[in-house]
A and B are shown apart, each in its own frame.
Chain A
Amino acid sequence: MDELPIQSGDDVVRVRQSVRNAAADNGLSLVDQTKLVTAASELARNTLVHGGGGRARVEVVKSANGRAGVKLYFTDEGPGITDIELALTDGWTTGTGLGLGLSGARRLVDEFELTSKPGGGTSVTVVKWSR
């Protein structure tokens, strides 16, 4: 399991590369790799821009019927999200913000979990399985 800091734009690029390697090494198709790395890019950027910096973890997992998968964790101790429902709706036409990043990332992965408390940081976990 890799733990990566997210404190700068370069860190976001490193996270993308790390996720790309894990996805390629574990049997994800090219399209699935692209989707996962794109989701990671969105989430890493959220961690940096909205969470004041944080960290990511990349883990290889195995499902009950033997399929490999890649699990990603994004954590920050930032201001947290006050209205999670709102943050998860597609608000991208109304300008920048969390809207697109989170809802878009959710559509790109197989499993998506978000926990956040106002003033208590945010944690997002996603999984993409190989087929």
Chain B
Amino acid sequence: MERVPILKIGQTLFVSIQIDLQDESVIRLQEDLADELAATGAHGVIIDITAVEIVDSFIGRMLTTIGSISRLFDAETVLVGMRPAVAITLTELGLSLSGVRTALNTEKGLEILNGKS
């Protein structure tokens, strides 16, 4: 099973999803992030999905759940780099992913995280 690495830079956790994730890996990522947030007290999480071609309801729910979990640790999550085709499909699916901030890229994602007081 593929395990998605989590990088810590300053007060932010970085996750970059590069491959077609299998359900088990998705659940594992959620658990690993919760562990990291608890252990490090990071203030923000950036999840880069630039390379992700498919976001279905399972992955969508995972992302929303990660957003909720982060907030419990007083951290904000920003989802960056969603592909247009993925955004259109998610909208058609009826998933708005409310509860997670979004940005075009990591740079803008960091601006959001640093903007928050």
Contact = CB atoms under 8 A, between A and B. Distances in A.
Task: Determine direct contact between A and B, CB below 8 Å.
Answer: yes
Interface of A: 9-10, 12-13, 16-17, 20, 30-31, 33-35, 37-38, 41-42, 45, 90, 92, 96, 100-101, 103-104, 107-108
Given A92-B57, A104-B94, A35 B89 contact: yes
B53 interface: yes
Contacts of A17: 20
Given A9-B22, A42-B56, A104-B57, A34 B85 contact: yes
Given A31-B88, A31-B89, A41 B22 contact: no
A101 B61 CA distance: 12
Interface in B77-96: 83-86, 88-89, 92-95
Given A90-B94, A100-B94, 15 more contacts: A9-B24, A10-B22, A16-B54, A17-B20, A30-B85, A31-B85, A31-B89, A37-B53, A37-B54, A38-B55, A38-B93, A41-B54, A42-B56, A45-B56, A108-B89
Interface of B: 20, 22-24, 53-58, 61, 83-86, 88-89, 92-95
B53 A100 contact: no
A108 B53 CA distance: 15
7 A-B pairs with the lowest CB-CB distances in the bound complex, closest first = A34-B85, A9-B22, A104-B93, A41-B56, A31-B85, A100-B57, A9-B23
A96 B22 CA distance: 17
